[in-house]
Amino acid sequence: MLLAARYVLPIAAPHIVDGAIRVHGDRIMEIGEFETLKAAYPDEEVRDFGLAVLMPGFVDMHTHLEFSAMRGLVDDLPFSQWKLQLLEKQERLAQADWEDSARIGAAEALQSGITTIADISDSGASARAAAGAGLRAIVYREVATMDHRKVPDVLAQASEDIAEWRELGDPSRLSVGIAPHAVYSCHPELYRKVAEKAIAEDLPVSTHLASSKDEYDFTKYGSSRLAVDYRNAFSGADVAWLPTGVSPVRYLEQWGIYDVPQLVAVHCTQVDDEDIEILAGNDVAVAFCPRCNAKLGMGVAPLAKFLDRGVRVGIGTDSPASNNTLDMFDEMRIGLLIQRSVTGYLPHFIARQFVKMATLDAARALGVDDQVGSLEPGKQADIIAVDISHSHQIPTLYPYSTLVHTANQENVVFTMVAGQVLYDSGRWSLLDIDRIQARAEEMRVKLRG
């Protein structure tokens, strides 16, 4: 099959005007000018998207599909209060609700052009939804306890779940890791044991780190709302916490978690130069979630400093519970504008850099760039088409700017993963969208009740 469009963005190479991609099976075979490929392969089926961009699918470096039903449920609150409200409301959901909530997120991800997700899940619903929808996914089993006596049981249950989740889908698309939630919800022994397990079993690890001022103050000074209300509600135990006198990043240095070969730190808005040196020195990747950070008042990640120090950074959407949509276009646009407003115009802060952070850089940060993140012969055929023919987008002069400054998730008309078309102009090939929408309404009533 030949996929053709006005623009083809390989990401790892300059864009091609009037280009095409030849796909065979689950692989990309060739990329080039349409007329050249058509002449070389006259019998190939052609799908021409016209005034559109063909590009690698987005790699969402951090999300929680299972929280999709909570879209807009707790708005206009700062981070700690938002978390407390979410904890209370999520008790109303049964396992079947979590499953369908994740399916809502999977459907939106495909419609948004997201082909790979890195998802932190407690229930396993995200793993089942991703596998059922055909998404490529790394799903991290979340663990948390502030009671050191519970650490063995928490890890034993996590091990059972990891083994079960691995059987849910094709291992070429679904892999499973582990995720200690955050400093304010995990005893240091849990971090230590997670590190040992991850190294022994070659598990990828993700953890929320230095996410907010409340977390920073809790870790260093033992104060903030997280010191009592949230921590007790989350852990279910009244466990004493002594101020550490150091930042969250420096605190974790003591517990071996930075020895994990494939570690993703999520958010990292509250870091200083010494923290950044620790992250860079240990090759820790960072998931940059600009809309969530702005909406919940968490702070602004020092992106330029991360990039200057060679930290692997990719863009994540977080979840619809925190930022309302899984729209990578909004993440790129708002992320770029916030960074410019805070730092000014720097070489890093151009449209092409942010498209790269949403694709190839995110894949590199997750360690999957040998398979996805760019359009290159031999890589997986994870490809999307973005319609840029609307009145607010023409004339198109530079495709990267068009994507970042004018496009949104509704402009995605085609999503392919491993050569399989999963979304095409309002139709999902593996999902029952009518049932998903009906279940969304049922959960809305339950959560609002």
User: Can you spell out the DSSP letters for 240-280?
Assistant: -----SS-HHHHHGGGTGGG-SSEEEEE--S--HHHHHHHH
- pLDDT (tens digit per residue) in 280-290: 999 999 999 99
C-alpha–C-alpha distance, residues 121 and 179, integer Å: 8
445 in a structural domain = no
Asked whether 365 and 314 are in contact (CB, 8 A), the reply is yes
Q: Is 177 found in the same domain as 132?
A: yes
pLDDT band of 315, cuts 50, 70, 90: very high
Judge whether 375 lies within some domain: no
DSSP three-state, residue 142: strand
Q: Region 28-37: what's the mean pLDDT?
A: 98
57 closest CA partner among 427, 430, 421: 421
The residues, ordered by sequence, that sit 6+ positions from 73 with a Cβ below 8 Å of its Cβ are 86, 89, 321, 447, 448
Domain range for 18: 2-55+381-433
Q: Is the pLDDT confidence value at 308 over 80?
A: yes
Joined together, the tokens standing for residue 430 give: 């593996």
158 and 281 belong to one structural domain: yes
Residue 394 carries which DSSP code? P
In contact, 205 and 263? CB cutoff 8 Å: yes
Report the C-alpha gap between 318 and 436 in whole angstroms: 21
Q: How many helices (H) and strands (E) does the chain have?
A: 18, 17
Give the 3-state secondary structure of residue 377: coil
Same domain flag for 242 and 171: yes
Stated pTM of the model: 0.96
**Tell me: the pLDDT tens digits for 152-192?**
999 999 999 999 999 999 999 999 999 999 998 899 999 99
CATH of the domain at 263: 3.20.20.140
User: Six-digit token pair at 416?
Assistant: 């392919």
| pLDDT score, position 40 | 98
Q: Is the predicted pLDDT of residue 82 greater than 90, yes or no?
A: no
User: What count of residues does the chain have?
Assistant: 449
Are residue 155 and residue 249 in the same domain, yes or no? yes
> What's the domain count of the chain?
2
